[in-house]
Amino acid sequence: MNAETLPDGLALDNRITVRALESSDMDAFAEIMSLPGVRRGTLSLGYRNPVQLKAWCEQRLKHGVSVCATIGGRMVGHAGLGIHERSRAHGADLGVAVHDAYHGRGVGSALLQALIDCADASLGLRRIELTVFIDNEPAIALYRKFGFVEEGRSRGFAMRDGVLADCLHMARLVDAPRLQTN
């Protein structure tokens, strides 16, 4: 046991650092995406290997931003914005995944704050949208905390554990300044 981690691998240093996702993070990213809670709580495919995730990230980074959260040097979460094209270039899709052992410790908030700051200040995005399982109450509460509102519900939207599951569609819309006409 070293000074940074407990026997179960949890970090003692609780400071969350958010930074750009790098190619060297793919093994840790694959580990997070294969965790039972992440697989059940997200609409992402689980059990992707680092090579598959690297290809997915490279494609996403052509039109988006990907960040990760670390605690004590260990990756504990990932979030990204996939920016839309053409007439929807003012918006992006949001995806978030937090390591099963780090729920409720501020990781999701840190990731969302970093992406929203980037979306508002650097990218000029006006709309961020997401889809979340209807029973993922902690995630829904997190999204509401950051100004996301429910826009609709799709019944039987995604397959989870062999059963069709309902999802909410949520979005955060920043009012664009209106053009004045004289």
pLDDT in tens, 76-106: 999 999 999 989 989 999 999 999 999 999 9
Joined tokens for residue 106: 């501020």
Percent of the chain with pLDDT over 90: 71
- CATH number belonging to domain 16-130: 3.40.630.30
Strand partners, 177: none
Q: Can you tell me the distance from the alpha carbon of 119 to that of 129, in angstroms, rounded to the nearest whole number?
A: 12
Sign, Cα dihedral of 131, 133, 135, 138: negative
pLDDT digits (tens, 9 = 90+) for 140-178: 999 999 999 999 999 999 999 899 999 999 999 997 555
Q: Can you tell me the distance from the alpha carbon of 97 to that of 100, in angstroms, rounded to the nearest whole number?
A: 9
Strand partners, 154: 167
Q: Can you tell me the distance from the alpha carbon of 119 to that of 121, in angstroms, rounded to the nearest whole number?
A: 6
Q: pLDDT value at position 51? A: 87
Q: Can you tell me the distance from the alpha carbon of 90 to that of 67, in angstroms, rounded to the nearest whole number?
A: 20
- Residues 97, 38 contacting (CB under 8 angstroms): yes
If one counts every other C-beta atom within 10 angstroms of the C-beta of residue 181, the result is 4
**Structural domain spans, the chain:** 16-130
Whether the pLDDT of residue 179 is over 90: the answer is no
- Report pTM: 0.86
Amino acid at 46: G
Q: pLDDT value at position 176? A: 52
> Once rounded to an integer, what is the mean pLDDT over residues 17-38?
92
Instruction: Average the pLDDT over each of 16-30, 43-57, 109-123 and give the range with the smallest value.
Output: 43-57
